[in-house]
A = this chain, B = another copy of it.
Amino acid sequence: MPSYAAPIRDMQFVLDEVLEVSKSDVPGYGVLEPDFTSAILDEAGKIARDVLAPLNAAGDREGCRLENGVVYTPTGFGDAFQAIKDGGWNGLDLPEEYGGQNLPYIMGTAVGEIFVSANMAFNMYQGLTHGAISAILAHGTEAQKATYLPKMVALDWTGTMNLTEPHCGTDLGLLRTKAEPQADGSYRITGQKIFISAGDHDLAENVIHLVLAKAPGGGEGTKGISLFIVPKFMVNADGTLGARNAVSVGKIEEKMGIHGNATCVMNYDGATGYLLGELHKGMRNMFTMMNEARLGVGLQGYAVAVAAYQNALAYAKDRLQGRAVTGAENPSGPADPLIVHPDIRRNLMDQKSFLEGARAFTFWGASLIDRAHRAGDAAAEGMVSLLTPVIKGFLTDKGFETAVNAQQVYGGHGYIEEQGMSQFARDARITMIYEGANGVQALDLVGRKLAQDGGKHVMAFFEMVKGFLKENEGEERLKTEFLDPLKAASKDLQAAGMFFMQNGMKNPNAALAGSYDFMHLFGLTCLGLMWARMAKAALAALDSGSSDAAFYETKLATGRYYMARHLPMTATHLARIQSGADLVMALPPEAF
């Protein structure tokens, strides 16, 4: 049975020493003192270890079930949900006026990593609620906020997002769910939605569905789409629950993973809905929360792999198999532990160096969201908007790969469900798909974000890298191992951008054929930047005579590994990009 311990020291390093949230105000908040943040993370870590992680494998095995229209979550999820409610965890970074604690988003992100690592399927019930709350906060009327938010922040009610229909996921212009205006200002919603995470369950009194549907008069395609609030139970004027609305669960999907979360087919049969935000602006309204939602999925991608890595590491230290080629290291035992073998070490270092870089990258993204949302910082908004598809696409691809690599350490035992390593791989797999499949992220990055605001944000990214290199050029301890590889990666990224500029104008396929490689090239460069910043922070701590020298030396060694063994991949991505679109598009469909 896998276990999980929150990597709080690593998290604090990113918060305090790399992003320095304790040295200057977090926009709209103030200084986040290390004692305060570590107390929060400690508490989250305890719940994760004692309450959530023990339910992870059991929830996977048991799954959810639909009986007589009622969805039941796995045994123990109810009690765990109560613990999350009691701790006020869902409101951590939500406004005080609705019962939240108003902490910065970056703290919600750090706690989120811990909860996802411990039990991703379980955490989705609150995660989806959080997303729905953000939408109502951004677009709801005061009355809507007053009706829904206190209950949702407290997790008395949960939320969902209803976009996908059987015939359309990415291309929402095709959607068929109808919204017919009623005399009382409400709408009758009719249609079928699929793949609705946390669509129904037995954890809360009510479920507030946010539903995309077409109301008359909006025109063709995505222009006609509006966003509606559709409660499972109608809400009376006094806030009590009324009759059941005409929305029901058609079935629970059998999936590859995240079995503990009920992925529902939702049938709307003339259900009562209320317009959220402006009519026919549903797409725009839904996408307001896009950066947060996608950053949250990127976080899931690596957070599941953190748990997988911890267990692979424990197994590698424990399992005796073979002898070190350089001489027995456990001579009194029947064999040496797996971790003595260079290829096992290579695998573990691949995992560790990616995961720590991924955390820094995600937390950085979260800090940009804080600056954008709480301080109206347009540059930060632009930067996180650019980085969001990279965080989502790159971190989930590599997160899944990392979970698979962790499973590999177990050999045959990794394939047996009893050991729990298969679940990490199966759970992580969905993160590459939902909230915009990774190919769609690549398209968003290259087709939209690169050129956004005249290319200002990607230029700002390159300036930032250049600034960092310049600022540290005298630091000989960083030069060969960190600055030079970062410079090379950044140069490859710029060359790829240049290739798109030169070729994409006359042939958009020339850019799009390289979009997936570009997303990875960008991700590698971002993690290279993160590692260079972490190395700098580690050197500063060592120079100041930290009593925890081993911790910082480990950071430096892990960073050196990433720079030397992950970053060279940027050259391959560039070569693929520069090979252009002709090879990709050469075959007519019938020739495949």
Write the residues of chain A forming the contact surface with B, with a CB cutoff of 8 angstroms: 164, 167-171, 173-174, 194-195, 253-257, 313, 317, 320-322, 325-326, 334-335, 337, 339, 341-349, 352, 400, 404, 407-408, 411-412, 414-418, 422, 425-426, 429-430, 432-434, 437-439, 442-443, 447, 507-509, 512-513, 515-516, 550, 553-554, 557-558, 560-561, 564-565, 568-569, 571-572, 575-576, 579, 581, 583-587, 589, 591-592
Contacts and interface: CB of A to CB of B under 8 A. Distances in A.
Contacts of A408: 432-433, 437-439
Contact of A345 (B256, B313, B550, B585): B585
A174 B335 contact: yes
A322 B411 contact: no
Given A164-B412, A326-B509, A412-B434, A426 B256 contact: yes
Nearest to A166: B413
A435 to B, nearest CB: 10
Given A412-B434, A589-B337, A583 B349 contact: yes
A86 to B, nearest CB: 33
A568 to B, nearest CB: 4
Given A167-B320, A412-B437, 14 more contacts: A171-B335, A173-B335, A194-B412, A256-B416, A325-B512, A326-B508, A342-B584, A342-B585, A343-B439, A343-B515, A346-B584, A408-B433, A557-B583, A565-B576
A325 B513 CA distance: 11
- Please provide the 6 A-B residue pairs with the shortest distance between their CB atoms, ordered closest to farther: A568-B575, A342-B512, A256-B422, A557-B586, A564-B579, A254-B417
Contacts of A576: 564-565, 568
Given A170-B322, A417-B254, A568-B576, A587 B349 contact: yes
A115 to B, nearest CB: 22
A411 B430 contact: no
A181 to B, nearest CB: 25
Contact of A433 (B255, B415, B515, B587): B415
A411 B429 contact: no
A300 to B, nearest CB: 14
Given A322-B171, A429-B425, A576-B565, A254 B416 contact: yes
Contacts of A334: 174
A560 to B, nearest CB: 6
A197 to B, nearest CB: 10
A557 B342 contact: no
A412 B550 CA distance: 44
Given A426-B256, A433-B414, A583 B565 contact: yes
Contact of A411 (B169, B344, B415): B169
B417 A255 contact: yes
A342 B254 contact: no
15 contacts: A168-B321, A169-B321, A169-B412, A194-B412, A195-B416, A253-B418, A254-B416, A325-B509, A325-B512, A346-B516, A347-B516, A349-B583, A408-B439, A412-B433, A557-B586
A348 B171 contact: no
Contacts of A174: 320-321, 334-335
A339 B589 contact: yes
B571 A583 contact: no
Contacts of A195: 412, 416
A352 B591 CA distance: 11
Nearest to A345: B584
Contacts of A569: 572
Contacts of A349: 583-584, 587
A303 to B, nearest CB: 18
Contacts of A558: 587
Nearest to A569: B572
Contacts of A325: 447, 508-509, 512
Nearest to A413: B169
Nearest to A560: B583
